[in-house]
Structure 1
Amino acid sequence: MNIIGRLTRDAEVRPLSNSKQVVNFSIATNDNYRNKQGERVEQTTYFDCAYWISPKVATLLTKGTLVELTGRVSTRAWVNKEGEPRAGLNFHTSQIKLHGGSRRAETVQATEQTGNNGFTAQGTEDDLPF
């Protein structure tokens, strides 16, 4: 499955007890449609994402960056501190494509090597040849 959205916060690398690291971040996807009354309805969906392949990608994942993710979705349910039931969506990411973002991400992108390390970085619209 592919989803496209913007990061809602900077990515965080979390160490695990088995000497592995996971990159955690959150994205928001937007969709709009017209309901039966002809009114435009905008809907935002939030995904908590996890990326296990390389922690180096975290430097590129800054708040506001537009990304395209490939992976699978899972759901989770819990009860919050007030005793209210809650639910959320997790996205287990296997590939990340950057579609632009902050100047910091572009600077890091220029210095990172994007070979077969599990992520792809794409240029901004200014890089188009026409």
Structure 2
Amino acid sequence: MINRVVLVGRLTRDPELRYTPNGVAVANFGIAVNRPFTNQQGEREADFLNCVVWRKQAENVANYLNKGSLAGVDGRLQSRSYENQEGRRVNVVEVQAESVQFLEPRNASGGGGSQGYGSQGGNQNQGKQDQGRGSSNLNDDPFADDGKPIDISDDDLPF
């Protein structure tokens, strides 16, 4: 059996971070994903999906993404049901995100405030320098072109 979802879209609302009674972080957010075709009026439609992410990933999503941020989500579909306040059974299908990638720079004009580095399962660093050092800024680009040639030997290359 295969249950795999890969999405790229923009957040429809700011992530909502909560903690379980055991102290495990969980964040909920919505993502809008454009359909690959247009309707009869020539407009592109979108699907609006709810996502859930857990633990350190949840804290990173809540800290670095907000409404309009471009993100990639890799995970699986999961369904659940509950009884609402009126006593009716409600079925919910949501994406359980295993990995959330931040797909644009934090100060990008296109969509609002996400970090430009990926967040992968097990990668707790989030592409930023250790904050304990305090000597690096998130906006510092180590690959910025300063007009000088790069001095590197062939022995230092991994390929």
TM-score range, shorter chain: 0.5 to 0.7
Matching residue of 2:123:
116
Q: TM-score, normalised by structure 2?
A: 0.56
**In the alignment, which residue of structure 2 is the partner of 1:13?**
17
- Note the residue ranges of structure 1 that are not aligned, 5 or more in a row: none
Alpha-carbon shift at residue 128 of structure 1 (Å): 9.1
Higher helix share: 1
Aligned to 1:51: 53
> Mind listing any 5+ residue stretches in structure 2 that lack a counterpart?
108-112, 129-138, 146-159
- Residues 67-106 of structure 1: pairs in structure 2 closer than 5 A: 67-75=71-79, 89-100=93-104, 103=107, 104-106=113-115
**1:59-83 deviation line (CA, Å, top 9, x unaligned):** 1111100001100013456787789
Percent of aligned pairs with the same residue?
Answer: 26
Determine which structure has greater relative contact order: mean sequence separation of CA pairs < 8 Å that are 6+ residues apart, divided by chain length. 1
Distance in 1 of aligned mates of 2:44 and 2:88: 26
Find the aligned partners of 2:77 and 2:31 in 1 and give their Cα distance: 13
Q: Distance in 1 between matches of 2:20 and 2:8?
A: 28
Structure with greater Cα Rg: 2
Q: What is the root-mean-square deviation in Å for CA atoms of aligned residues?
A: 3.9
The count of corresponding residues between Structure 1 and Structure 2 is 119
TM-score of the aligned structures, taking structure 1 as reference length: 0.66
In structure 1, what is the Cα distance between the partners aligned to 2:54 and 2:87?
Answer: 32
Alpha-carbon distance between aligned partners in 2 of 1:48 and 1:128, rounded to the nearest angstrom: 37
Change (3 A) 1:101 1:45: farther
Deviations 1:25-57 (A, max 9, x none): 11111114257xx76463321111111131431
CA distance in 2, matches of 1:50, 1:19: 16
